[in-house]
Structures are given as structure tokens and as C-alpha cells.
Amino acid sequence: MTAVTPFAPKQPIAADPLDPGFGIYVHWPFCAAKCPYCDFNSHVRHQPVDQERFVAAFLKEMETMRRLSGPRTVTSIFMGGGTPSLMAPATVDAILSGIARHWHTPDGIEITMEANPSSVEAERFRGYRAAGVNRVSLGVQALNDRDLKFLGRLHDVDDALKAIRLAREIFPRMSFDLIYARPNQTVADWDAELKQAVSYAVDHLSLYQLTLEEGTPFFGLHKAGKLVLPDGEQSAILYEATQEITAREGLPAYEVSNHARPGAESRHNLTYWRYGDYVGIGPGAHGRLSTGGAKIATATERHPETWLSQVEANGHGMVNQEVLELSEQADELLLMGLRLTEGVDLARWQMLSGHGPDPDREQFLIDHGFIERLGNSRLRCTPAGMLILDAVVADLAC
Ligand code: SF4
């Protein structure tokens, strides 16, 4: 593996609302343990993972993706998982160097890596920084030990605070995640925890409600009546408290679950939500690419070792590559764009769907306070609409 440092990050490139950007997502599919609420493509291995073999496969799949995408200028790279902070710095360096060989990667692009507090070490963090990572997203999830244990996390609050301090020291940008709407969590509990979180935050926080995903241990426990989550009304109260506190503290929501100081939004996630193009590399990664006048959706094999063998044999682990109909693109644009407080560009939606919103449906949703127009050009959900986002999207997309 090389020790090349391909990036010299300067200031993050400002997000241009008219340009969704072009992102590259790399999926590292391994975790030290499986959290009981998680349905991500993450796997636990009791033998060391052969990182060099995976790097070779990432680089190989990159070549295939580069042929599909053509030459593009990258605005962001995101290493997600799984737990990417289980990668050695040399692995991260080799992946970033590979991306820089295949696509144009100007100075200052956003390069994010997800990290878990249990796998944080100063030396590793410095290695990631030297490789070019300029933003870290920490899976803190809770700021009390009882709830961290309940969530099956391997770290405690001391580990989390140590990781936050280190991330602030080493990386220009840092975000961390919390999960709320936990069993028996009161508004007062969450209010105190969130204020504490805001005091540790730099410019970005991701705040997710605990949800029950089919196939997870929490889903089974809930079905058996052994796990009770806050009901819809309590969840709505917690959501509204979240919006109020973060807005007051200067980190307003820019997406359903994401909060940032203006200008510090995640460039990479904005590419998804603004329905831009992105390449997905690694097991279970998805991509969207505009090529030859069409938009194609790609998806790779989820199982890590099967993906590895497929890449070694065929140069990629793709299990799906399909051209999206214009109507499918319109639905995806709406689904993504309505998550954002900036809303969705109506002209773009109209162009893809061949029609604007149905006037009666739109008026109904406006009258009930779920959506609003931003001038003539954009449509967005109100905070009340964000609480029933799926229903609003389904209603408008018809
Ligand atoms: S650390 Fe993250 S990706 Fe891994 S199992 Fe837990 S929630 Fe899932």
C-alpha cells in the first residue's frame, strides 16, 4: 500500500443549492459487535479481516464504476459502514488514493469517515487525517451509560467524550449521532441530554428516533411485548423538542434528522437528498449515475465475502444495474427532496414526472399544515409534515 497523501483539504467547498454535486460512497461492512436495533449491512467476524484483499477489491470495483460514471469532479467522499474506523489508516489511504486516480478530486472536497467511540485511538485518527479525511462522524448514540448498554454499544460515556475531544482536536469538521425516543425517555431527560450534546458539538449533529427494523432483536422483543417504545404522541413531542432546542442553539434542522450551523451541512448527504449522482463501492453499496442520457441505479452484493469473490472474478460485485424510468426518478427526487428544509425543486420534479403536484392534493396538504410553497419554485414539508413524511410523499407522488 502507498503512503501517498492525495488530498490537501482546505476549506470545505460551499454547497451550491443548484448543484447536487457528485459523491463517492465506500462501504466497510464490518463491526466489532452487532447492535440490537441495527439493520445496516454490517457483519461481525471473529477472525481478522484481510484488509489488503479488500483494498484490492475496492480498487478493482472502482475501475468498473469509473467506466460507468465517466470522468467526473468529486464533491464529497463518504466512508460508511459498518465501522470504517476498524480500517487501518493504510487501508483508508489506499482507498482515497485510488479514488484520486480515477476521478478529479479538487482540494477542499469533503471527506467523511464514520467512527465508533470504541474503536477510536489517537494514532489511528491522525493516520486517517494524514490520508485526507477531513470530517468524522461519531456513533455516540447516547450520553448515559444505562442507555448505551441498552443500545448494545461497546463504549461508555467516558469513551464517547474522549472520542469527541480527539475528533475535535484532529479533524477540521466533526459530527456525532444520537438516538432518541428510547424506552421511558422523558422530554426532560432528552432536553438535558441534547443540551449537553450541543455543548460538545462543533457544527453538525445527527439525531435519529429509535425505530424498530424487521429482523433485528429489538423488533422481536417488541413483538413479544418485552420492549416498549414511546408512542406516536410522545415521539412527536420529543421530535418537536429536538427542533426547538437545536434551532435555539444555532444548529437548526436542514433535514429530518440532521442539524447544522448554516454552511456546515454534510455535502455528501446533500448530494443524496438533492438527488445528485453518486458512486457506491463495496458490499451492499448503492449508486445513482447519469450516463448516456439515462439515470442508472446500481447495487452490489451485500455479503462481504461473496462480494469479494465476485469482484475478484468479474471486476465488480454489482447485482443490479437498471435504467430508472423518468417517473421513478421523479418519485425518488420527491422522496429525497422533501426530507430537506429547503424542499424540492418543482420545475425539476415537473420535468421528470411530466406533471406538477395535483392541485387538490397539494391544497389539502397545505390546508392541513403539512406542506408549504417556498415562492413559486419549491415545495417543502412543514415540521408537522416531516412527522408524517412517508404519507405526504405517497400522497403527492400519486
Ligand atoms: S456499530 Fe453501527 S453499523 Fe455496526 S452494528 Fe452498531 S449500529 Fe450497526
Mutation choice for ligand 1 from 30, 31, 153, 208, CB with most ligand atoms inside 8 A:
31
Is the CB of 42 inside a 6 Å radius of any atom of ligand 1? yes
166-181: per-residue pLDDT in tens?
999 999 999 999 999 9
Model confidence pTM above 0.85? yes
275-329: per-residue pLDDT in tens?
999 999 999 999 999 988 899 999 999 999 999 999 999 999 999 999 999 999 9
Is the CB of 222 inside a 6 Å radius of any atom of ligand 1? no
340-371: per-residue pLDDT in tens?
999 999 999 999 999 888 999 999 999 999 99
Is the CB of 115 inside a 6 Å radius of any atom of ligand 1? no
Is the CB of 84 inside a 6 Å radius of any atom of ligand 1? no
Is the CB of 139 inside a 6 Å radius of any atom of ligand 1? yes
Describe the strand order of the beta sheet including 344-345 as a list of residue ranges.
Answer: 344-345, 378-381, 371-374
Cα 287 to middle of ligand 1, angstroms:
21
Cα 320 to middle of ligand 1, angstroms:
25
Query: Atom 5 of ligand 1 has which residue's CA nearest to it?
Result: 34
Per-residue pLDDT of the chain (398 residues; tens, 9 = 90+): 333 333 333 344 444 555 799 999 999 999 999 999 999 999 999 999 999 999 999 999 999 999 999 999 999 999 999 999 999 999 999 999 999 999 999 999 999 999 999 878 889 999 999 999 999 999 999 999 999 999 999 999 999 999 999 999 999 999 999 999 999 999 999 999 999 999 999 999 999 999 999 999 999 999 999 999 999 999 999 999 999 999 999 999 999 999 999 999 999 999 999 999 999 999 999 999 998 889 999 999 999 999 999 999 999 999 999 999 999 999 999 999 999 999 999 999 999 999 888 999 999 999 999 999 998 899 999 999 999 999 999 999 87
Q: Phi first, then psi: give them for residue 368, nearest 5 degrees.
A: -90, 5
Is the CB of 148 inside a 6 Å radius of any atom of ligand 1? no
Closest C-alpha to 100, from 66, 130, 68: 66
Cα 29 to middle of ligand 1, angstroms:
10
- What is the number of the ligand 1 atom nearest to the C-alpha of 153? 6
Cα 152 to middle of ligand 1, angstroms:
9
Task: Give the span between the Cα atoms of 50 and 52, in whole angstroms.
Answer: 6
Q: How many CA atoms lie within 13 A of 277 on its CB side?
A: 17
State which H helix or E strand residue 277 sits in. strand 277-281
Is the CB of 83 inside a 6 Å radius of any atom of ligand 1? yes
Q: How many CB atoms lie within 10 A of CB 83?
A: 21
- What is the number of the ligand 1 atom nearest to the C-alpha of 114? 2
Task: Give the span between the Cα atoms of 363 and 372, in whole angstroms.
Answer: 9
Mutation choice for ligand 1 from 35, 86, 140, 177, CB with most ligand atoms inside 8 A:
35
Query: Atom 8 of ligand 1 has which residue's CA nearest to it?
Result: 38
Cα 39 to middle of ligand 1, angstroms:
8
State which H helix or E strand residue 52 sits in. helix 51-69
Query: Atom 6 of ligand 1 has which residue's CA nearest to it?
Result: 35
Cα 346 to middle of ligand 1, angstroms:
36
Mutation choice for ligand 1 from 28, 37, 40, 49, CB with most ligand atoms inside 8 A:
40
Q: How many CB atoms lie within 10 A of CB 295?
A: 20
Strand, coil or helix: 290: strand
Note if the bond before 225 is cis, omega within 30 degrees: no
Give me the percent of the chain exceeding a pLDDT of 70. Answer: 95
- What is the number of the ligand 1 atom nearest to the C-alpha of 38? 8
Strand, coil or helix: 326: helix
- What is the number of the ligand 1 atom nearest to the C-alpha of 116? 1
Query: Atom 3 of ligand 1 has which residue's CA nearest to it?
Result: 82
Looking only at the bridges linking them, the beta strands covering 258-260 and 204-209 are antiparallel
Is the CB of 245 inside a 6 Å radius of any atom of ligand 1? no
Cα 227 to middle of ligand 1, angstroms:
20
| Radius of gyration, CA atoms only, the chain | 21
Is the CB of 40 inside a 6 Å radius of any atom of ligand 1? yes
Is the CB of 208 inside a 6 Å radius of any atom of ligand 1? no
> 347 to each of 255, 277, 375, how far by Cα in Å?
21, 18, 12
